[in-house]
């Protein structure tokens, strides 16, 4: 089942509440613009491609209530303000606006829902194609290390929870499983929000061998020769191949370079900001300090608890993303194949985006 589906009555979407995973598998019905915006803001839905698809459906639901130009503008502004970094949000809202604006108000809601559904299916196809392109990379590496599983390290969650199916960074892993290439995944815990636990939950469901490690263990793993390749997702890729992803990604890339381990990002075209010349143009989300000062989990009695780990008065900064310079990447796995992480590399695969 996908982390977002259209409700059977067509009047809402149902999401898998990722704020409650991996402790509880709960579906939530979202009927209004405000509910969808809140779900994105509070990370009940998260991951760049899923944020985009959720926003597209949110806009369609908003147009049911108010299909006027003013309604359209209010809805796009509300959704655009939810999270700043994943460019898929803007991509989705721009595409939806271009589709609905030219038609009469009375026809907008139905058209918008159809367009959101098309975008969802296109993202699924893109993830599947990323899986095939990445599989070729994994196969080549596995052939050079016969007789043992291929060790992949990932950071954050870039699986089907963050997209709709397959994922981006995890798509090659799932495809490898499907075709019988032995893989084992090292899963970074990904403090402060712990998206690594979502990855572990996903991989567990699919029966993919995996081991969770503290984010700070990556350097040791590389030194011990325990990692063959790093695969991460992306929230926004700049035109020059700089990759913005969950905070901590750039440290993994630096350590991988030092150890000679290839580092790939996987992302669909919807995650590329063709207007961003380089990573310095990408806004980095600053999130609430409590994500750092407190930890949340299941208590011994089975109930969810929040514990403060910080002293009462402490200065905290919580940037949610960082930028990995293109030079540290072995490539960017896209739905059109593996691009060199550079403007030239992206131009080869997406020439239409560089047309004058």
The footprint of ligand MRU (CB under 6 A) covers 46-49, 86, 156, 158, 162-163, 167-168, 195, 233-235, 245-246, 320
| Contact between residue 190 and residue 155 where contact means Cβ atoms under 8 Å apart | yes
Q: Which residue is nearest to ligand MRU (CB)?
A: 233
43 or 326: whose CB is closer to ligand MRU? 43
Active-site option among 17, 215, 235, 322: 235
Query: Which residues does residue 262 pair with via DSSP β-bridges, in sequence order?
Result: none
3-state secondary structure of 58: helix
| Contact between residue 164 and residue 123 where contact means Cβ atoms under 8 Å apart | yes
Q: How far apart are CA 53 and CA 305, in angstroms?
A: 31
Active site (annotated) includes residue 132: no
Q: Least distance from C-beta 73 to ligand MRU, angstroms?
A: 25
Q: Least distance from C-beta 223 to ligand MRU, angstroms?
A: 24
Taking the CA of residue 146 as centre, how many other CA atoms within 13 Å lie in the half-sphere pointing to its CB?
1
Q: Least distance from C-beta 262 to ligand MRU, angstroms?
A: 18
175 or 246: whose CB is closer to ligand MRU? 246
Q: Least distance from C-beta 321 to ligand MRU, angstroms?
A: 6
End-to-end CA distance of the chain: 42
Q: How far apart are CA 174 and CA 314, in angstroms?
A: 42
What is the Cα 4 distance to its own chain's centre?
A: 14
66 or 132: whose CB is closer to ligand MRU? 132
3-state secondary structure of 109: helix
108 or 334: whose CB is closer to ligand MRU? 334
- What long-range pairs does 72-76 form, CB within 8 A, spacing at least 24? 72/97, 72/100, 72/101, 72/108, 74/33, 75/33
| Contact between residue 314 and residue 293 where contact means Cβ atoms under 8 Å apart | yes
Q: Least distance from C-beta 275 to ligand MRU, angstroms?
A: 19
3 or 47: whose CB is closer to ligand MRU? 47
Contacts of 91 (CB under 8 A, 6+ apart): 52, 270
Task: Identify which of 251, 243, 183 has the alpha carbon closest to the alpha carbon of residue 215.
Answer: 251
Count of all residues that appear for the chain in the document: 356
Task: Identify which of 248, 225, 240 has the alpha carbon closest to the alpha carbon of residue 272.
Answer: 240
246 or 257: whose CB is closer to ligand MRU? 246
Q: Least distance from C-beta 247 to ligand MRU, angstroms?
A: 8
Catalytic residues: 235
């Amino acid at each position: 089942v996908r982390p977002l589906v259209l409700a059977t009555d067509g009047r809402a979407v149902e999401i898998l509440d990722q704020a409650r995973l991996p402790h509880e598998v709960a579906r939530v019905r979202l009927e209004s613009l405000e509910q969808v915006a809140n779900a994105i803001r509070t990370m009940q839905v998260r991951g760049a491609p899923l944020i985009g698809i959720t926003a597209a459906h949110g806009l369609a639901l908003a147009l049911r209530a108010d299909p006027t130009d003013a309604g359209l503008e209010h809805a796009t502004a509300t959704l655009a303000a939810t999270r700043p970094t994943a460019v898929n949000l803007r991509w989705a809202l721009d595409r939806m606006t271009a589709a609905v604006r030219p038609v009469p108000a009375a026809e907008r809601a139905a058209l918008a829902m159809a367009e959101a559904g098309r975008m969802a299916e296109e993202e699924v196809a893109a993830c599947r194609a990323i899986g095939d392109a990445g599989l070729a990379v994994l196969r080549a590496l596995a052939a050079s290390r016969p007789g043992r599983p291929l060790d992949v390290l990932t950071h954050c969650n870039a699986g089907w929870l963050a997209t709709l199916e397959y994922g981006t960074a995890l798509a090659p892993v799932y495809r490898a499983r499907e075709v019988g290439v032995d893989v084992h995944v090292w899963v970074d815990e990904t403090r402060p929000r712990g998206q690594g636990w979502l990855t572990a939950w996903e991989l567990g469901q699919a029966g993919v061998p995996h081991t969770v490690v503290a984010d700070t263990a990556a350097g040791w793993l590389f030194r011990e020769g325990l990692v063959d390749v790093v695969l991460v997702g992306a929230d926004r890729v700049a035109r020059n191949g700089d990759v913005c992803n969950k905070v901590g990604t750039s440290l993994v890339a630096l350590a991988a370079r030092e150890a000679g381990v290839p580092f790939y990002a996987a992302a669909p075209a919807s995650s590329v900001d063709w207007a961003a010349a380089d990573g310095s143009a990408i806004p980095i989300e600053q999130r609430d300090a409590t994500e750092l000062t407190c930890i949340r989990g299941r208590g011994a009695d089975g109930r969810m608890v929040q514990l403060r780990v910080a002293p009462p008065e402490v200065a905290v900064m919580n940037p949610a993303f960082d930028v990995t310079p293109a030079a540290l990447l072995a490539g960017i796995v896209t739905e059109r194949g593996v691009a060199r992480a550079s403007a030239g590399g992206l131009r080869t695969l997406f020439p239409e985006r560089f047309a004058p």
